[in-house]
């Protein structure tokens, strides 16, 4: 059996166990998404192959299935990230309410295109699918916090506050 990576600590396993406990034992693979979130958070916001392999082994599932989940959902990142993540929704409601303007603004002001990280490492800029906040479009997910009804100015203010 392969060794677990050093990041896959007892503490992390305990956090994952809390999710596994919500399902019958034969369904522990249902915890794959929270498990990936837990290891991603512990690793500065991105998933290494090694960590995905740890999750696969821990949940007794094929590694390839874990990779599939991790590449399908926009909240997982497979490359090193900035200290923060600024995710602008580009689905229809937000587009109609000006998310394009937000995206262009960030591109010009901070010199990053979607998927890129600012030179100072402060944030990674992402375009994402509907965040479920369409009623108050345009919406942005900043790390784990949702912000709604944004204008370029109010988004700037949020970005300015990032360390
Ligand atoms: Fe942007 Fe739904 S379309 S939050």
Asked if 23 and 58 sit in the same domain, the reply is yes
Closest ligand 1 atom, CA of 133?
Answer: 4
User: Is residue 151 one of the residues assigned to a domain?
Assistant: yes
At which of 72, 93, 114 does a domain end? 72
| Pocket around ligand 1 at a 6 A CB cut-off | 89, 91-94, 130-134, 137, 139
* Count of structural domains, the chain: 2
What is the position in ligand 1's atom list of the atom closest to the CA of 93? 3
Instruction: Give the domain CATH number at 64.
Output: 1.10.10.1590
138 neighbors 87 (Cβ within 8 angstroms): no
Q: What is the CATH number of the domain that holds 116?
A: 3.40.30.10
Indicate whether 88 and 148 sit together in one domain.
yes
Q: What is the pLDDT of residue 63?
A: 97
- Is 5 a domain residue? no
Tokens for 34, please give them: 């929270």
Q: Is 156 exposed, middle or buried (0-12, 13-18, 19+ CB in 10 A)?
A: middle
Burial of 6 from C-beta contacts in 10 A (0-12 / 13-18 / 19+) = exposed
Question: What's the 87 CA to ligand 1 centre distance in angstroms?
Answer: 11
* pLDDT at residue 5, as a whole number: 73
**Spans in the chain with pLDDT lower than 50:** none
């Amino acid at each position: 059996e392969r060794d677990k990576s050093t990041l896959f600590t007892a503490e992390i396993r305990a956090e994952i166990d809390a999710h596994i406990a919500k399902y019958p034992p034969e369904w522990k693979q249902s915890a794959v998404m929270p498990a990936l979130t837990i290891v991603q958070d512990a690793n500065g916001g991105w998933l290494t192959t090694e960590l995905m392999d740890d999750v696969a082994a821990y949940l007794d599932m094929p590694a390839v299935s874990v990779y599939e989940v991790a590449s399908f959902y926009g909240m997982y990142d497979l490359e090193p990230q900035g200290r923060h993540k600024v995710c602008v929704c580009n689905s229809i409601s937000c587009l109609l309410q000006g998310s394009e303007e937000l995206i262009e603004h960030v591109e010009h002001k901070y010199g990053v295109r979607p998927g890129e990280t600012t030179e100072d490492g402060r944030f990674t800029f992402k375009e994402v699918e509907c965040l479920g906040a369409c009623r108050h479009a345009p919406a942005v997910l900043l790390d784990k916090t949702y912000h709604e009804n944004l204008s370029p100015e109010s988004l700037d203010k949020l970005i300015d506050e990032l360390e």
